[in-house]
Amino acid sequence: MIGRLNHVAIAVPDLDAAAAQYRDTLGATVGAPQDEPDHGVTVVFIELPNTKIELLHPLGDASPIHGFLEKNPAGGIHHMCYEVADILAARDRLTSAGARVLGDGEPKIGAHGKPVLFLHPKDFNGALIELEQV
């Protein structure tokens, strides 16, 4: 059901410093910051030959990343995103198997302009999983 790894998301306390580190120290191709108000984050994508890294920074005090950074002040891996061909079929299969979808269970549009869902980390070995329809 899941396809390729689309990205690994890392919550960071300083978006500019993290982007500069990937660009200047690691020599990666770094995109421009992009606000995602529906998700409460500002993101920067790092392009790699086989996947992407998504740097996440809170967009406002209500951001879920704000709470994550309070618990992890230096930042850290926040979630992994896998591609799926049909997000509704994937959701239905997962929920019938007992997995919990966060929020209201309906896909939202993610940073790539495609439908996304998040799966409860307690159902996946402590890892927050994002599914993105391709």
The contacts of residue 107 (CB under 8 Å, 6+ apart) are: 87, 88, 91, 115, 116, 117, 133
62: helix, coil or strand?
coil
Residue 132 has which token pair?
Answer: 């993105």
Q: How far apart (Å, rounded) are the C-alpha atoms in residues 3 and 43?
A: 23
Q: Determine whether 130 is an active site residue.
A: yes
Check if the beta carbon of residue 41 is closer than 8 Å to that of residue 55: no
Q: Which among 54, 83, 130, 132 is annotated as catalytic?
A: 130
- Main-chain phi, psi angles of 37, to 5 degrees: -60, -35
Catalytically annotated residues:
130
